[in-house]
Amino acid sequence: MSNDHSENQRLHTALIGCYHTHKKHCFAEFQKLNLSTGQPKVLSILLQNEGFLQKDLAERLHVEPATMTSLLGKLEKDGLIYKKPVYVSGNKRANSIYLTEKGRKLAIKINQIVDEIEEKSYKNFTETEKQLLISFFNRIRYNLENY
């Protein structure tokens, strides 16, 4: 490592520190709702757009199909989602995933928690700075995805 950058000025350090602190605050709140890792994101995505096929939901969350099966099994057991069989190309059966009313209420609560944590995260930021920050993160992701 060159001496040009102190550890606190490295993108890597800033991203990881920010991510872990944000995750810690979210996880503490989600635990109060008896939700485990991955479950809040599933519910939040379904609130925006129900009817995802199980395999498409796994791709969207960047998890293995077996992990998605486990996540959905727990959510279904807890009465938060239900699966509706559908036929896809080749006359194969798949499951579309939908929220129950209980799941919908919990997903709304999850989004409220995320909004509150975002509000705390953006303390002392102007609207322009918020937009720039998101723009910078999106540009970094794009650069790395297209490297």
For residue range 84-121, what is the model confidence (pLDDT) as tens digits? 999 888 888 888 999 999 999 999 999 999 999 999 99
Q: What pLDDT score was predicted for residue 30?
A: 96
For residues 96 and 85, give the distance between their C-alpha atoms in angstroms, rounded to a whole number: 6
Q: Calculate ∠ Cα 119-121-124, nearest 5°.
A: 85
81 membership: H or E segment, kind and range: strand 81-88
- What residue spans define the domains of the chain? 11-126
pTM of full prediction above 0.85: no
For residues 38 and 109, give the distance between their C-alpha atoms in angstroms, rounded to a whole number: 15
State whether CATH 1.10.10.10 applies to domain 11-126.
yes
Six token digits for residue 106: 């919990």
For residues 114 and 147, give the distance between their C-alpha atoms in angstroms, rounded to a whole number: 31
For residues 124 and 130, give the distance between their C-alpha atoms in angstroms, rounded to a whole number: 10
Query: What's the alpha-carbon Rg for the chain, to the nearest Å?
Result: 19
Q: What pLDDT score was predicted for residue 4?
A: 53
Strand order of the sheet with strand 81-88?
Answer: 52-53, 92-99, 81-88
For residues 42 and 72, give the distance between their C-alpha atoms in angstroms, rounded to a whole number: 8
Predicted confidence pLDDT, tens digits, the chain (147 residues): 445 556 668 999 999 999 999 999 999 999 999 999 899 999 999 999 999 999 899 999 999 989 999 999 999 999 999 999 998 888 888 889 999 999 999 999 999 999 999 999 999 999 999 999 999 999 999 999 999
